[in-house]
Copies of this chain bind each other. A is one copy, B any other.
């Protein structure tokens, strides 16, 4: 390869990361071919299937800003959610809105995966250097030839070569699967004992939202939860996160039907839920999610029609394979580090990957991919590991702690210290969602703050707070924090 010629890049996957990376690299002068397994969602209708609704925040916006799309997406595809709305188990208890930040402009943004993907595909196709081809399923990568092999919908096989192959092909990445066969490839896939299922709260009259539009709704139930994110058409996408087995589980409500379906012969009509099974679902929701049931007219239909998905964390290394002739394969986004959705960071982290990789390639060209891709992984891998950990931790916070008074009090203390010492204290959630400091630093500072709160709160317990005017309480927080810092300098 000579450094004066434009370089060829093959991106496997035209999902969110693949289409964004295509825009970056095309603008840097690369010739970009993107091959996608699915059909064109602009023609076929979006068939992303089991996607969880997405929460776009600072890191994702930073990734979009590098190609000038952040403002467009916020204006056309997003609904800001400046806080959580916790729904108690009793229909008589009040809803509790918990702002994410003292600054009301700090919001995460509900976006439709399908809509955002189409926005990115349209922008990518406006680039003269980008070609996107659909209906090509990657079956393997020939590392020696640096080519990817695709199967067409008619069963033919197509080989595509490039100087750089970028696998943006998701949690079950065929590109990563080929790297995994290399000697000394570290790899792990770990599933939660919880699965997920999407449900729906349809729009009210005149596309009105049936519950608060500008909030991420949570029904925390200890070992499980439901969440709901607003859509711009007035509906909400609800997602259950329940154990597969045991109490409050998917198996308890749909296990018998699943058994009948597995037992059915291939030519039999698909067994359907009985009336008793449908009533059991509605009854269960009426007990545990009583305020949601009246808003979910298709609850029983959706529950049995929509699949139950699993939740995987993937970690691996190295993310790259570099040939002697300088051509290379790299993976990014979910392909390199699939995470659970509980911090709303999967897409945000993938967009950070895209911009980080594009900036390294812009600064160094595609002539020394060995060093450049090693540097990409050196920068990004510790951060991917950090958000993977934080996402797993946040599941406990969302499904259990959010509903507890102790947690709300802890958040109040945390926010007060943040207000009083804004340069010194920044809650982990805010660092992750409203800043672009590295995830590793967000995790480190989050842990420090947690230990600090463990020392503060016993000196000003929840039981003491109701009797104190807010100003007095804050003055007391201020004094305790200062005294603690004197003991243990930052």
Q: Which of B184, B186, B189, B262 interacts with A185 by CB under 8 Å? A: B189
Residues of B within 8 A of A190 (CB): 186, 188
Task: Give the docked Cα–Cα distance between A253 and B185 (Å).
Answer: 23
A58 to B185, CA, bound (A): 33
B-contacting residues, A181-231, CB 8 Å:
183-191
Question: B188 to A188, Cβ gap below 8 A?
Answer: yes
Q: A183, A184, A186, A189 — which one has the most chain B CB atoms within 10 A of its CB?
A: A184
Identify A263's interface contact among B188, B244, B262, B324, CB under 8 A: B324
Q: Does A310 contact B (CB under 8 A)?
A: yes
- CB of A187 within 8 A of CB of B184, answer no
CB pair A189 B191 closer than 8 Å:
no
Apart from the given pairs A180-B189, A183-B191, A184-B191, 10 other A-B contacts in the complex at a CB distance below 8 Å: A183-B310, A184-B244, A185-B191, A186-B190, A186-B191, A187-B188, A188-B188, A188-B189, A262-B324, A263-B324
Which 5 residue pairs are nearest across A and B when measured between Cβ atoms? A188-B188, A184-B191, A184-B310, A187-B189, A186-B190
| In the complex, chain A residues 282-326 whose Cβ is within 8 Å of any chain B Cβ | 310, 324
Q: Tell me the bound Cα distance from A295 to B473 in angstroms.
A: 80
Q: Given A262-B324, A324-B263, A189 and B186 touching (CB < 8 A)?
A: yes
Contacts of A188 in B (CB 8 A): 187-190
A-B contact pairs, 19 of them (CB 8 A): A180-B189, A183-B191, A183-B310, A184-B191, A184-B244, A184-B310, A185-B189, A185-B191, A186-B189, A186-B190, A186-B191, A187-B187, A187-B188, A187-B189, A188-B188, A188-B189, A188-B190, A262-B324, A263-B324
For the complex, give the distance between the alpha carbons of A69 and B262 in Å: 44
Residues of B with C-beta under 8 A to A180: 189
Near B by CB (< 8 A), chain A positions 235-265 give 244, 262-263
Contacts of A262 in B (CB 8 A): 324
Q: Looking at the assembled complex, report how far the CB atom of A364 sits from the nearest CB atom of chain B, in whole angstroms.
A: 23
CA distance A189 to B177 in the complex (A): 13
**Chain B neighbourhood of A244, CB < 8 A:** 184
Q: Which B residues are in CB contact (< 8 Å) with A263? A: 324
Cα A189 to Cα B189 with chains together (Å): 9
- Bound-complex Cα distance A81 to B324 (A): 46
**A163-184 interface mask toward B, CB cutoff 8 Å, 1 = contact, 0 = none?**
0000000000000000010011
In the assembled complex, the Cα of A260 lies from the Cα of B190 at a distance in Å of: 40
Q: How far is the CA of A190 from the CA of B188 in the complex (A)?
A: 8
Distance in angstroms from A392 CB to nearest chain B CB is 14
User: What residue in chain B is nearest A193 (Cβ atoms)?
Assistant: B184
A427: shortest Cβ distance to chain B, in Å? Answer: 32
Q: Which residues of B contact A189 (CB under 8 A)?
A: 180, 185-188
Give the docked Cα–Cα distance between A180 and B188 (Å). 11
Give the complex CA separation of A262 and B184 in angstroms.
18
With the chains together, A324 CA to B258 CA distance in Å? 12
Question: In the complex, which residues 309-362 of chain A have their Cβ closer than 8 Å to any Cβ of chain B?
Answer: 310, 324
A183 / chain B contacts, CB cutoff of 8 Å: 191, 310
User: Chain B contacts of A185 at CB under 8 A?
Assistant: 189, 191
CB contacts (< 8 Å) of A324 on chain B: these are 262-263
In the bound assembly, the distance between CA atoms of A189 and B184 in angstroms comes to: 9
Min CB gap A218→B, angstroms: 25
Closest chain B CB from A65 CB (angstroms): 36
Instruction: Report the Cα distance A310→B186, complex, angstroms.
Output: 12
What is the minimal beta-carbon distance from A185 to any residue of chain B, in angstroms?
A: 7
Complex alpha-carbon distance, A186 and B312, angstroms: 9
User: Could you tell me the distance between the alpha carbons of A180 and B181 in the complex, rounded to whole angstroms?
Assistant: 13
| Alpha-carbon distance A189/B324, docked complex (angstroms) | 26
Report A268 CB to chain B, min CB distance, Å: 14
Residues on B with beta carbons closer than 8 Å to the beta carbon of A191:
183-186
A290 to B324 alpha-carbon distance, docked (Å): 37
Q: What's the least CB distance linking A447 to chain B, in Å?
A: 25
Task: Give Cα A187–Cα B191 distance, bound, in whole angstroms.
Answer: 9
A185 to B191, CA, bound (A): 7
How close is A195's CB to chain B, nearest CB, in angstroms?
9
Residue of B nearest to A190 (CB): B186
Q: Which residue of B lies closest to A263 (CB)?
A: B324
